[in-house]
Amino acid sequence: MNRLLQAKLSIMMFLEFFVWGAWFVTLGTFLANNLNATDGQIGMAFATQSWGAIIAPFIVGLIADRFFNAERILGFIHLLGAVLMCLMANATEFSVFYPYVLGYMILFMPTLALVNSISFRQMRDPSQDFAKIRVMGTIGWIIAGLVISYVFSWDSQEAILQGYLANTFLMGAVVSALLGLFCFTLPETPPVTDKDEDISIREILGLDALAMLKERNFLIFVIASILISIPLSFYYQNANPFLVEIGVNNPTGIMTIGQASEALFMLLIPVFLIRYGIKKTLLVGMLAWAVRYVLFAYGDSGSMLFMLIIGIALHGLCYDFFFVAGQIYTDSKAGEKFKSSAQGLITLATYGIGMLIGFWAAGQISEAYVTEGGHEWFMIWMIPAIFAVCVFFFYLFTFKQEEIDYDVSEI
């Protein structure tokens, strides 16, 4: 891959995740303070990610892969997304805001597949080149958080009270517009499927891989994936509002520690898979969720701040050792016939079904523990911690260790 192409793909990936990180981390805090949204409504807003994940395969499978160049539809989506983010920034009540964020996430979630597709199609050796490109996405998310906290201080207590978090959407809109225009300079990535070729809904959603559920181990893995996605949702939805409410300075910037750890732990996955196998690797990831939430439950913005920092730093272990390792496991089990369908099935199970339930649960539980001064955060964090422990033991006693040759070359 020549340097110009690598630079273009890196910029694309950087901007893609900068746009997402520019507003998604602080969404809960914005809704609670700018729009006086309830915890249940905040849960609804975050659940738009899951609806987007469920609908995304239709946009990619029925439209992008059949009728348009991937780089053109990616550009169009981000230009339209910029308009929607401007509308979100200027919304004054939740009932107005919700249709905009729902429309945006339905458009945005397919772009995660599109940037990967463009990257893979342009690379001669994805196993060697993709990691260099994908890490720029993590850096983009980190930079967005650092800009919010340390450049503009939009997440300071005073700025939040003055409604400055609305600027995160405007920043995202500007970068989304730039990315939209930039996409039209990317190398052509034409459709991979003939528009006249028949394609079934089962294939689009990955339901062709349902036959794999006949194998007991894979069925247990899918069930565990859905269940562990429920406590994951609590972090996305509640972490930033929690840090803000208890008085932690620069909360959005501090949360970028989680993305940095994600890049670090990614390097350890091949070692764990080869040395300890899939069962122990996934168990470590599940247990990390429980440990993280216990740390959140007992931590504070004073002498126990270190507990919150450790909990945030565990994000890489939590996410990589279950979700990334799970994708590798799925790929190894699927074989050539079901590789694409199996990944689609796991995405539907986790980002779709699991997180959809999780965001609803996070909203209901947070609302149940509202106090005069804010929230009873101890219980809000201990409930998903206990749930994660239950999933841990379910998986521990039902999943049988198996020997599989893992293709970790694409990490």
Residue 56: per-residue pLDDT: 79
State phi, psi for 199 to the nearest 5 degrees: -140, 135
Query: Which pTM value belongs to this model?
Result: 0.92
The CATH 1.20.1250.20 portion of the chain extends over 1-187, 203-400
Alpha helices (runs of H) in 22-93, residue ranges in sequence order: 27-34, 39-59, 70-89
The burial of 79, by beta-carbon neighbours within 10 Å (0-12 exposed, 13-18 middle, 19 or more buried), is given as middle
State how far the Cα of 212 lies from the Cα of 221, in Å rounded to an integer: 11
- Per-residue model confidence (pLDDT) at position 127: 61
Q: How many residues does the chain have?
A: 411
Asked if residues 186 and 8 have their Cβ atoms less than 8 Å apart, the reply is yes
Write down the pLDDT at residue 184. 96
149, 155 Cβ separation under 8 angstroms = yes
> Which of 204, 215, 128, 162 lies closest to 33 in space, CA to CA?
162
Token duo for residue 291: 């440990």
The pLDDT of residue 150 is 97
Whole-number pLDDT of residue 195: 57
Structural fold of domain 1-187: Growth Hormone; Chain: A; (1.20.1250)
CATH 2.40.37.10 fits 203-400, yes or no: no
Residue-wise pLDDT tens for the chain (411 aa)? Answer: 789 999 999 999 999 999 999 999 999 999 999 999 999 999 999 999 999 988 877 766 566 656 778 899 999 999 999 999 999 999 999 999 999 999 999 999 989 888 988 888 888 777 678 778 888 999 999 999 999 999 999 999 999 999 999 999 999 999 999 999 999 999 998 876 555 566 666 665 556 677 788 899 999 999 999 999 999 999 999 999 999 999 999 999 999 999 999 888 888 888 888 888 889 999 999 999 999 999 999 999 999 999 999 999 999 999 989 988 888 888 788 766 666 667 777 888 899 999 999 999 999 999 999 999 899 999 999 999 999 999 999 999 999 988 766 555 545
The dihedral sign for the CA sequence 37, 39, 40, 43: positive
